[in-house]
């Protein structure tokens, strides 16, 4: 874990690169010199809306309490976190997305293949989240990941516990805060550990090709006016690793992943969505921290990343950056 005094929360400037270059896949990202502990748990997932952060995680290794923690990104790229986290549901493998003040969270009901549940909430002026009184089942599978653009939700998940079909499910957030899901999900690729992000109508999804360290693939898509998705005909390799997480802001792609199956180097890879629906990636990835189970979010030019310090329940760390 990269650690320094909390007073050293300044940006280590290593060179300015135009945003236009970033959209072509150039890697000008600048990370703060240190990560900081904000909570304790396992399997964190973070989303941002403006300067507001909503983070969710498990309290234990198996099925059990799911907690949310909110924070605010400061001008110096540090984060002021709420003094405590709060329980909002029970389950495992949570993933969260935010649009405006609306929160959408998905998770598994059990550790194996079974019901996938969604839970909605609203961010209040004091930074807390008022959650709907209950969660609802919307599909069946494992390892869900959710993204949102406007009122349109894009969710991806595995059909089984091993390498196999990856499915997407779209939904629409209603004024009441409920979600109207499409009657069925559809297969779009094959792999494991999918992660999805949306910018406008453009989708970027990343996943592992196999169960262990190996090729990481990306797949792009476009949300149609009727709520369906047209995916690119095939996925393409962009890196090697395990546990990828992707975030996108405008044309800018931020991807983070582990170098190995255990706690160790965490890498980031930059890219840019192109007008033709492809993605241009930087020639290489770079290490930015150490840990496990990274999750990335982007708001404007600010990057927020959360991860575990090690294997199992323990300290959760956040790391910020900018471009």
CA distance 320 to 32: 6
Q: Per-residue pLDDT averaged across 180-186, rounded? A: 94
Please give the pLDDT value at position 275.
84
Each residue of 76-133: pLDDT tens digit? Answer: 888 999 999 999 999 999 999 999 999 999 999 998 999 999 999 999 988 899 999 9
Q: What are phi and psi of 270, to 5 degrees?
A: -100, 155
- The CATH code of the domain at 20-322 is 2.120.10.10
Which residues lie below 8 Å from residue 9, measured CB to CB, with a gap of 6+?
Answer: 32, 34, 36, 76, 77, 78
- Closest among 65, 63, 115 to 92, alpha carbons compared: 63
Which residues lie below 8 Å from residue 17, measured CB to CB, with a gap of 6+?
Answer: 26, 28, 323
Please give the pLDDT value at position 22.
43
**Beta-bridge partner residues of 192:** 208
Angle, CA of 175, 96 and 9, to the nearest 5°: 120
Give residue limits of the domains in the chain: 20-322
Q: DSSP characters for 227-239?
A: S-EEE-SS-EEEE
Which residues lie below 8 Å from residue 207, measured CB to CB, with a gap of 6+?
Answer: 166, 189, 191, 192, 193, 194, 195, 216, 217, 219, 235, 244
Q: What percent of the chain has pLDDT over 70?
A: 91
Asked whether the beta carbons of 169 and 138 are under 8 A apart, the reply is yes
- Closest among 179, 293, 279 to 234, alpha carbons compared: 279
- Give the global pTM: 0.90
Count other C-beta atoms under 10 Å from residue 177's C-beta: 15
Classify burial at 6, counting beta carbons within 10 Å of its beta carbon; exposed 0-12, middle 13-18, buried 19 or more: exposed
Q: DSSP characters for 87-142?
A: EEEEEEEEEEEEETTEEEEEEESSSSSEEEEEEEEEE-TTS-EEE-S--EEEEEEE
Each residue of 49-65: pLDDT tens digit? Answer: 999 999 999 999 989 99
Q: Per-residue pLDDT averaged across 176-198, rounded? A: 95
């Amino acid at each position: 874990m990269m650690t320094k005094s909390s007073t050293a929360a300044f940006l280590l400037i290593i060179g300015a690169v135009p945003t236009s270059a970033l959209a072509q896949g150039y890697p000008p990202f600048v990370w703060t010199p240190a990560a900081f502990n904000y909570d304790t748990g396992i399997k964190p997932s973070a989303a941002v809306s403006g300067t507001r952060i909503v983070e969710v995680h498990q309290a234990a290794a198996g099925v059990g309490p799911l907690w949310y923690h909110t924070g605010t990104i400061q001008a110096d790229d540090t984060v002021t976190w709420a003094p405590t986290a709060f329980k909002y549901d029970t389950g495992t493998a949570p993933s969260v997305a935010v649009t405006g003040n609306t929160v959408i969270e998905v998770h598994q009901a059990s550790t194996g293949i079974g019901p996938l549940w969604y839970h909605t909430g609203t961010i209040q002026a004091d930074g807390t989240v008022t959650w709907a009184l209950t969660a609802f089942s919307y599909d069946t599978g494992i390892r869900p990941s959710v993204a949102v653009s406007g009122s349109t939700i894009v969710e991806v998940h595995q059909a089984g516990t091993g390498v196999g079909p990856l499915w997407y499910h779209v939904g629409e957030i209603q004024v009441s805060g409920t979600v109207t899901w499409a009657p069925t999900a559809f297969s779009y690729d094959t792999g494991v550990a999918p992660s999805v992000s949306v910018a406008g109508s453009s989708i970027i999804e990343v996943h592992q090709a196999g169960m262990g360290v190996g090729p990481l693939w990306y797949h792009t898509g476009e949300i149609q006016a009727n709520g369906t998705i047209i995916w690119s005909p095939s996925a393409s390799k962009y890196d090697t690793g395990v546990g990828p997480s992707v975030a996108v802001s405008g044309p800018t792609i931020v991807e983070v992943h582990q170098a190995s199956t255990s706690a160790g180097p965490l890498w980031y890879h930059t890219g840019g969505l192109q007008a033709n629906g492809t993605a241009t990636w930087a020639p290489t990835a770079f290490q930015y921290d150490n840990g496990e189970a990274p999750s990335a979010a982007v708001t404007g030019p600010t990057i927020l990343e959360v991860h575990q310090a090690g294997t199992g329940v323990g300290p959760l760390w956040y790391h910020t950056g900018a471009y």
